[in-house]
Amino acid sequence: MLVSRRTALKQVLFVSAGLALLPSCFRKTPPASIKLRNIVLDADDENVLAALADTLIPKTNTPGAKDVSAHHFTMTMVDDCFKKEDQQRWLEGMKAFDKLCRDKYSHAFEKCTPDERASLLTTLEAAKADTDAAAYFYQTSKRLIIQGYTSSEYYLTKVQVYELVPARFHGSIPVKQPDRRTA
């Protein structure tokens, strides 16, 4: 059987397109919900950060850190503002954090009970970030989550209302006469 050149080219095109799309079919976890340029995080990594944010500043009658997307702020700050070495150290610390949690409780941080989370974070609070990768990840992420929460729109409009400098103008204020006996 002779195959025409046009048919052969179509078949090669279909096969190559299928091969190009094939790796995306085998991806285990979806990517993070925000696009990052310098570091690679997946949805599981984002969930760990969201659980950490929710543990540090939980939702009460006010929104928590997860609700104001402080974990997205953390991801963006690490991606945009950290040096390459610090980004790698943070990513290695995230892996060490996950390993520590799995070794201690046999499951991921986001599946831990509140008591287990508090116990793990208390342990990491006491550890030195210079020598422990998991402690570096925790302490860096904690600082960025708190910064993200306190610079969120909710916090600056509802909790601590921000007024642009020089603040308000009070044009009509009575002035007291100075006491001339003490001057």
Distance CA 9, CA 2 (A): 14
In a domain, 154, yes or no: yes
Domains: count for the chain: 1
Listed residue (137, 156, 45, 57) closest to 90, CA to CA: 137
Range of the domain at 93: 55-158
How many other CB atoms are there within 10 angstroms of residue 143's CB atom?
A: 12
- The verdict on residue 183 lying in a domain is no
Q: Is residue 121 part of a domain?
A: yes
In a domain, 13, yes or no: no
Give yes or no for a contact between 52 and 145, defined as CB atoms under 8 angstroms apart.
Answer: yes
Is residue 40 a part of any domain in this protein? Answer: no
Two structure tokens written together for 68:
């104001």
For residue 123, tell me if it sits in a domain.
yes
Residue 39 maps to a domain: no
Over the stretch 41-79, which tens digit does the pLDDT of each residue have?
988 999 999 999 999 999 999 999 999 999 999 999 999
pLDDT of residue 160: 86
Average pLDDT over residues 78-99: 95
The residue written with tokens 């979806």 in the block is 30
Q: What's the pLDDT tens digit per position in 10-44?
A: 777 777 777 677 666 665 667 777 888 889 998 89
pLDDT in tens, 115-173: 999 999 999 998 888 889 999 999 999 999 999 999 999 998 888 887 777 777 777 87
This prediction's pTM: 0.74
Phi-psi map region of 95: left, alpha, beta (phi>0 left; psi -120 to 50 alpha): alpha
Using the predicted structure, report yes or no on whether residue 181 has a pLDDT greater than 80. no
* 164 lies in some domain: no
